[in-house]
């Protein structure tokens, strides 16, 4: 199958099937296309020691599991950035301009959505102002 066309031309499903046929690659189901191509090339070249599916001996079981599945995220999502009153007011101004455009086009439902978003942003600016003054 790999001789018919280059690995880059295969679909992800075809690449996963090729990887399964080798029997030397773990964590196939979570790999992205580039990772699959790299792993298949490594097994075809006989360099299985470089595969991420073989964890180091001095790691904990949880770390080993993370190493076996390269597609899994081990980090937490970053927290939302701190908003300032001025950044919220800037967003309100942008929404006002969009609302005016939608009203000109006659799209009242879209304009109504923007109105509600602006009201929520105004409420957040009032809360921030109250928190800063307290």
Burial class (CB in 10 A: 0-12, 13-18, 19+), 132: exposed
Tokens of 71: 């597609």
Confidence of residue 33 (pLDDT cuts 50, 70, 90): confident
Confidence of residue 64 (pLDDT cuts 50, 70, 90): low
Domain ranges of the chain: 7-68, 85-133
Tens digits of residue pLDDT in 74-123:
555 545 667 788 889 999 999 999 999 999 999 999 999 999 999 999 99
Indicate whether 15 pLDDT > 70. yes
Confidence of residue 28 (pLDDT cuts 50, 70, 90): confident
Alpha-helical regions (H) of the chain: 12-22, 33-44, 61-68, 85-105, 108-133
């Amino acid at each position: 199958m790999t001789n018919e066309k280059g690995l880059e031309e295969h679909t992800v499903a075809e690449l996963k099937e090729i990887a399964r046929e080798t029997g030397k690659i773990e964590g196939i189901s979570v790999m992205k296309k580039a990772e699959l191509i790299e792993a298949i090339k490594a097994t075809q070249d006989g360099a299985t020691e470089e595969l991420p599916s073989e964890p180091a001996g001095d790691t904990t079981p949880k770390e080993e599991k993370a190493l076996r599945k390269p597609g899994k995220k081990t980090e937490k999502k970053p927290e939302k950035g701190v908003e300032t009153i001025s950044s919220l007011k800037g967003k309100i101004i942008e929404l006002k301009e969009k609302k005016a455009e939608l009203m000109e086009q006659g799209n009242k439902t879209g304009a109504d959505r923007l109105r509600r978003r602006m009201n929520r942003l105004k409420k957040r600016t009032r809360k921030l102002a109250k928190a800063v003054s307290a």
